Amino acid sequence: MRIASLSDFLLQRIDRGREANGARKAVNRQIYQVIREAILDQSLPAGLQLPSSRFLAQELKMSRNTVTYAYDQLLAEGFLESRVGAGTFIANTEPDQIVTAAAAAAPAGPLQGGELSLSTRGQQLVELAGVSKTQWGAFMPGVPDVTQFPNKIWGRLQNKYWRRSRSELLTYSGGEGYLPLREAIADYLRVARSVNCDASQILITTGIHQSLDLVARMLSDHGDHAWVEDPCYWGTRSVLRSVGVRTVAIPVDGEGLQLRPEDLRHPPRIIVVTPSHQYPLGMVMSLSRRRALLEYAAANNSWIVEDDYDSEFRYGSRPIASLQGLDVHERVLYLGTFSKTLFPGLRVGYMVVPPVLAESFSTGLSELYRCGHSYTQAILTDFMTEGHFASHIRRMRVVYAERLRLLHEAITFHFDDRIIITGGEAGLHLALGLPDACDDIAICEAARQQGIIVRPLSKYYSDAASARRGLMLGYGCVPDEQIRPAFDILAGVIKAHWPGAHTQAERVK
Amino acid sequence: MRIASLSDFLLQRIDRGREANGARKAVNRQIYQVIREAILDQSLPAGLQLPSSRFLAQELKMSRNTVTYAYDQLLAEGFLESRVGAGTFIANTEPDQIVTAAAAAAPAGPLQGGELSLSTRGQQLVELAGVSKTQWGAFMPGVPDVTQFPNKIWGRLQNKYWRRSRSELLTYSGGEGYLPLREAIADYLRVARSVNCDASQILITTGIHQSLDLVARMLSDHGDHAWVEDPCYWGTRSVLRSVGVRTVAIPVDGEGLQLRPEDLRHPPRIIVVTPSHQYPLGMVMSLSRRRALLEYAAANNSWIVEDDYDSEFRYGSRPIASLQGLDVHERVLYLGTFSKTLFPGLRVGYMVVPPVLAESFSTGLSELYRCGHSYTQAILTDFMTEGHFASHIRRMRVVYAERLRLLHEAITFHFDDRIIITGGEAGLHLALGLPDACDDIAICEAARQQGIIVRPLSKYYSDAASARRGLMLGYGCVPDEQIRPAFDILAGVIKAHWPGAHTQAERVK
């Protein structure tokens, strides 16, 4: 292409029309784009001299600024180069010869399909993913009723902070989080959860997942072992495995983690338990087991992670005191969250670590994630210190207890005592035990097609073959009046899959 | 202890006084605690029968409810057990014999001190931590001026969402984030950053750190190699190492990443670059290098991570187009953040991934972190679509350009051309080059004692011995009028540490 023709080349490609909103299309940006593409596809070859911006502007009948804008941007991005006293030239942007030679000599050509290019751990994460696409509706487990959240109170507290900006709340924060919130949480945990702590041991995280991720990286190395309960929360397994920790599944019975002599011979680095409300089955770890676990961990330099995800909601008694509160050896890391007590989208959780770990954990959290959200933490502090947190929990405990009662009633109506209910003394879900011959995965799939979400108990076990069959039902986010009709539908599905209940199933349909 | 004496035992220990706030101390809670402790220290032995709650209440001259409360809680927590027709007994809470035997047989006793118990990677993370305890003031790099954030506009948009709660904004969200925000970001990136994308390729994260962490886990395994620039951002190294990725430092020159033939023979899984504004030195990667890198990555199945942390703020020209926009092989993952353009505490970042990875990455993000913050993402969407984002960037570009000019002026006043300034064409910081004989770490320490924060350039290199000496100065969060006085102090410190400038240093003092 001759220089003289650049103006023709541009004029053919520039669109002088208007945008959808009526504004003229920006011509300077178009000149930039047309020249850029022409350089990349080599219709404008390296070394070619461009006309001066004054000359080109005259040819195009445009202001010189329009052309200068495009030239300046192309210069800044390296498409053009300016030689003093000589003019403006197309730069040589051909790739480095050494590098392209190396590329050409690559043993294999590029892979096709991104899945092939996931790492082994990435692929495992996706294949074994436990997270649900749906996060609302009957009977989604683990989701509180966020429609009952006192949003007006929250909004009022929020306004206080946003009316004038306070720079310390808007910039990065220290890894440990906002001090007044840590103090409020320490006060709360001491009284409500019998946790031994002060604010210096508290770190604010985005929830149980981040807390556990930090614990795994700070306290275990690739290839180390962690004991997890069998069955257990899917997130525990996924987070640990994704940082190279090998999970060893230890069965639970009515008293919680059931240690067998062969397990005891191989002390793990980390032991993750849900002592106040086993996830998913719901039993409370017995005191005798608690004391044994604490002694064992102290003697073997294992760390115990106490995942206390929902025990604020206990219906028959006050919440069970924490395992951490019994520990005299400082081997327990206590994890909690506001996801169930306030709302999940808040993404605020906390951990209580032994004093000797506090500073390292704060540095680690900050180094791995850079922390912020201080303004949210400030609002949450006021929400707690003004008493709204405690009263919201009290109010929701009554709401959930009623929903639990309604669900129990519906289950009994359909199944009398043919189904064993576990875990219904606390939290936001219960587990229905099914006969071994029931395919709980098929039931969940069939229920989903009728708009009901339930999760198969067998999926929470490490080994599907020996897993107990059952269903996880969340009642937290289901309005009272929907519980019975939704369970009626689910009961139909269960009956259709009940071993030897073919005729009954036909009748239900 | 005889049963009859339980009431005396309790009466000696119950405090009938008042709390600091004047309320009576809760006696029911005290009965629970006294009995609990007595069981744990075995002053109340297992098997002992307790008096009935009616009898004990009479002895204590309290209401029966008070005693029942304590008994119920102790029953729920397993301290007591109730035998039908017989009464209430202290439960056997002695630890399991098998487990305690295993604990006693542990080869080594418990470690002393938590540091000893950090994992190797945890210890490395803490020892090599780059994150600063301070996040505000002259001359903290990487921090925008959050006092200029239009908090009233944000507050107004926020109120719209909080006036009535919308459950879908308060519960868990899908890993990919809030769709309208992803659309707004895609629109923005196409125009402002020449990124080829649509909303389906965008994932919302909490910032560059989380984005990089996800990339590392999804696309690389333990022991895999990643190329990083030398020098580079401390966070890049820390995040990659903490998931077992081995970082290979590749030097940068005036054109960015400088690939040497020996590097090319060992293709890495991941290549992390900052092409628009090299961190920390500030150069732009040349087009020739960009094209070569893209070809090399495609041929060798490497993934390129483009960390585009602050290139919205470029002062001489419009922002440099992204590397992703040049890529035809879909090997680039583009990372951006609102930390510099809005405020760091917001903790919202985004990544653009090749279409083939989008679904896996969404699942991975959700599985590893559980996602939320939809209400924040909704507010941010309005902030962008109503034009406040673009106008805030325009306004701040002028503010920062002026601060950069003032800082340049101050540097020139003190050092003429004895100090080389790099990276001052874009972003929120610049780098001052110092003679090799200057101890930049000592300068930073001395400056800190005079209230000035600067960071030593040598710390950003992989090898301290061959590192260039210099200082990183952030001017983003320093008000105009503080720049000169703050630099005057810093100049004094630099002169005091300038090789062979002892007399001059004395004069400055």
Q: Which two tokens stand for residue A65?
A: 């600024």
The C-alpha of B487 sits at a distance from chain A's nearest C-alpha, in angstroms, of 22
pLDDT of A113:
54
Mutate to test the interface with A, among B131, B148, B205 (most CBs of A within 10 A): B131
Nearest Cβ partner for A372 among B119, B126, B346: B346
Regarding whether B167 and B82 lie in a shared domain, the answer is no
Q: How confident is the model at residue B505 (pLDDT cuts 50, 70, 90)?
A: very low
Nearest Cβ partner for B235 among A117, A287, A370: A370
Task: Look at A95 and B468; give whichever has higher pLDDT.
Answer: B468
Does residue B422 belong to any structural domain of this protein? yes
Nearest Cβ partner for A372 among B152, B174, B344: B344
What is the full DSSP assignment across B208-242?
HHHHHHHHHHHH--TT-EEEEEES--HHHHHHHHH
CB A124 within 8 A of CB A116: no
Contacts of B205 in chain A (CB under 8 A): none
Regarding whether A50 and A18 lie in a shared domain, the answer is yes
Taking only the tens place, the pLDDT of each residue in B398-444 is 999 999 999 999 999 999 988 999 988 889 999 999 999 999 999 99
- Residue B306 to residue B335: CA distance in whole angstroms: 6
Inter-chain contact A93–B238, Cβ cutoff 8 Å?
no
Task: Look at B208 and B83; give whichever has higher pLDDT.
Answer: B208
Inter-chain contact B372–A477, Cβ cutoff 8 Å?
no
Contacts of A167 in chain B (CB under 8 A): 136, 146-147, 477
Regarding whether A69 and A43 lie in a shared domain, the answer is yes
Nearest Cβ partner for A360 among B115, B208, B367: B115
Contacts of A354 in chain B (CB under 8 A): 114
Mutate to test the interface with A, among B161, B165, B238 (most CBs of A within 10 A): B165
- Residue B266 to residue A9: CA distance in whole angstroms: 44
Q: How confident is the model at residue A382 (pLDDT cuts 50, 70, 90)?
A: very high
| Closest C-alpha among B3, B29, B120, B5 to residue A223 | B120
| Closest C-alpha among B486, B434, B428 to residue B146 | B428
> Is it the case that residue A328 has pLDDT exceeding 50?
yes
Q: How confident is the model at residue A22 (pLDDT cuts 50, 70, 90)?
A: confident
What count of CB pairs under 8 Å joins A to B? 418
Regarding whether B345 and B244 lie in a shared domain, the answer is yes
CB B256 within 8 A of CB B283: yes
Q: Point out the domain boundary residue: A355, A386, A417.
A: A386
Mutate to test the interface with B, among A69, A287, A477 (most CBs of B within 10 A): A287
Regarding whether A292 and A376 lie in a shared domain, the answer is yes
Residue B191 identity (one-letter amino acid): V
CB A458 within 8 A of CB A468: yes
Taking only the tens place, the pLDDT of each residue in B12-68 is 888 887 777 777 778 888 899 899 988 888 888 888 899 999 999 998 898 999 999
Regarding whether B69 and B160 lie in a shared domain, the answer is no
CB B471 within 8 A of CB B457: yes
Mean pLDDT value of segment A398-415: 95
Q: Which one of A465-479, B305-319, B415-429 scores highest in mean pLDDT?
A: A465-479
Q: Point out the domain boundary residue: A369, A386, A403.
A: A386
Does residue A348 belong to any structural domain of this protein? yes
Does residue B100 belong to any structural domain of this protein? no
Does residue A150 belong to any structural domain of this protein? no
Number of domains in chain B: 3
pLDDT of A110:
58
The C-alpha of B445 sits at a distance from chain A's nearest C-alpha, in angstroms, of 19
Taking only the tens place, the pLDDT of each residue in B212-221 is 999 999 999 9
- Residue A106 to residue A182: CA distance in whole angstroms: 54
- Residue B396 to residue B58: CA distance in whole angstroms: 74
Does residue B127 belong to any structural domain of this protein? no
CB A435 within 8 A of CB A222: no
- Residue A233 to residue B399: CA distance in whole angstroms: 50
pLDDT of A508:
41
Nearest Cβ partner for A168 among B136, B287, B371: B136
Q: How confident is the model at residue A289 (pLDDT cuts 50, 70, 90)?
A: very high
Inter-chain contact B265–A102, Cβ cutoff 8 Å?
yes
| Three-point CA angle B470, B472, B478, nearest 5° | 140
> Is it the case that residue B453 has pLDDT exceeding 50?
yes
Which of A17-26, A40-49, A391-400, B183-192 shows the lowest mean pLDDT across its residues? A17-26
- Residue A503 to residue B423: CA distance in whole angstroms: 78
| Closest C-alpha among B331, B335, B336 to residue B356 | B331
Domain that holds residue B406: 391-508
pLDDT of B439:
94
Regarding whether A381 and A401 lie in a shared domain, the answer is no
Regarding whether B345 and B248 lie in a shared domain, the answer is yes
What is the full DSSP assignment across B352-371?
E--HHHHHHHHHHHHHHH-B
Contacts of B31 in chain A (CB under 8 A): none
Which of A45-59, A189-203, B354-368, B446-460 shows the lowest mean pLDDT across its residues? A45-59
Regarding whether A456 and A343 lie in a shared domain, the answer is no
Inter-chain contact B218–A125, Cβ cutoff 8 Å?
yes
Inter-chain contact B76–A317, Cβ cutoff 8 Å?
yes
Inter-chain contact B317–A360, Cβ cutoff 8 Å?
no
Contacts of B320 in chain A (CB under 8 A): 76-77
Mean pLDDT of chain A: 90
% chain B with pLDDT above 90: 66
Centre a 10 Å sphere on the Cβ of residue A283 and count the other Cβ atoms it contains: 18
Q: What ipTM did this prediction achieve?
A: 0.91
Q: Point out the domain boundary residue: A51, A69, A90.
A: A90
> Is it the case that residue B288 has pLDDT exceeding 80?
yes
The C-alpha of A418 sits at a distance from chain B's nearest C-alpha, in angstroms, of 26
> Is it the case that residue A84 has pLDDT exceeding 90?
no
Regarding whether B309 and B190 lie in a shared domain, the answer is yes
Which helix or strand (DSSP H or E) is residue B474 part of? strand B470-474
Q: How confident is the model at residue B506 (pLDDT cuts 50, 70, 90)?
A: very low
Contacts of A265 in chain B (CB under 8 A): 102
Nearest Cβ partner for A242 among B173, B267, B368: B368
Contacts of A104 in chain B (CB under 8 A): 299
Does residue A222 belong to any structural domain of this protein? yes
Taking only the tens place, the pLDDT of each residue in A208-227 is 999 999 999 999 999 999 99
Mutate to test the interface with B, among A121, A127, A266, A380 (most CBs of B within 10 A): A121
The C-alpha of B470 sits at a distance from chain A's nearest C-alpha, in angstroms, of 23
Contacts of B78 in chain A (CB under 8 A): 284, 286-288
> What residues pair up with B49 in beta bridges, in sequence order?
B89
Inter-chain contact A367–B125, Cβ cutoff 8 Å?
yes
Inter-chain contact A76–B259, Cβ cutoff 8 Å?
no
Nearest Cβ partner for B110 among A94, A162, A298: A298
Residue B384 identity (one-letter amino acid): M
Inter-chain contact A370–B173, Cβ cutoff 8 Å?
no
| Three-point CA angle A283, A455, B166, nearest 5° | 100
Inter-chain contact B301–A326, Cβ cutoff 8 Å?
no
Dihedral in degrees, nearest 10, Cα atoms A57, A60, A65, A68: -70
> Is it the case that residue A351 has pLDDT exceeding 60?
yes
Contacts of A219 in chain B (CB under 8 A): 117-119, 122
Inter-chain contact B317–A75, Cβ cutoff 8 Å?
yes
Per DSSP, B304 falls in state E
pLDDT of B509:
36
Q: How confident is the model at residue B397 (pLDDT cuts 50, 70, 90)?
A: very high
Q: Which two tokens stand for residue B138?
A: 């002259």
Centre a 10 Å sphere on the Cβ of residue B162 and count the other Cβ atoms it contains: 20
- Residue A458 to residue A440: CA distance in whole angstroms: 7
CATH number of the domain bearing residue A375: 3.40.640.10
Regarding whether B366 and B398 lie in a shared domain, the answer is no
Does residue B314 belong to any structural domain of this protein? yes
> Is it the case that residue A504 has pLDDT exceeding 50?
no
pLDDT of A106:
67
Nearest Cβ partner for B222 among A244, A267, A355: A244
- Residue A224 to residue B135: CA distance in whole angstroms: 35
CATH number of the domain bearing residue B444: 3.90.1150.10
Nearest Cβ partner for B239 among A303, A356, A368: A368
Task: Look at A108 and A77; give whichever has higher pLDDT.
Answer: A77
The C-alpha of B406 sits at a distance from chain A's nearest C-alpha, in angstroms, of 22
Nearest Cβ partner for A95 among B117, B224, B288: B288
Inter-chain contact B171–A146, Cβ cutoff 8 Å?
yes
Which residue of chain B comes nearest to A317, CA vs CA? B73
Mean pLDDT value of segment A66-94: 86
Task: Look at A464 and B202; give whichever has higher pLDDT.
Answer: B202
Regarding whether A356 and A418 lie in a shared domain, the answer is no
Mutate to test the interface with A, among B32, B39, B117 (most CBs of A within 10 A): B117
pLDDT of B400:
96
The C-alpha of B168 sits at a distance from chain A's nearest C-alpha, in angstroms, of 8
Residue recorded with tokens 């820390």: B238
CB B170 within 8 A of CB B375: yes
Which residue of chain B comes nearest to A178, CA vs CA? B345
Which residue of chain A comes nearest to B255, CA vs CA? A78
Alpha helices in A312-372 (DSSP H): 355-369
CB A147 within 8 A of CB A348: no
Q: How confident is the model at residue B501 (pLDDT cuts 50, 70, 90)?
A: low
Does residue A399 belong to any structural domain of this protein? yes
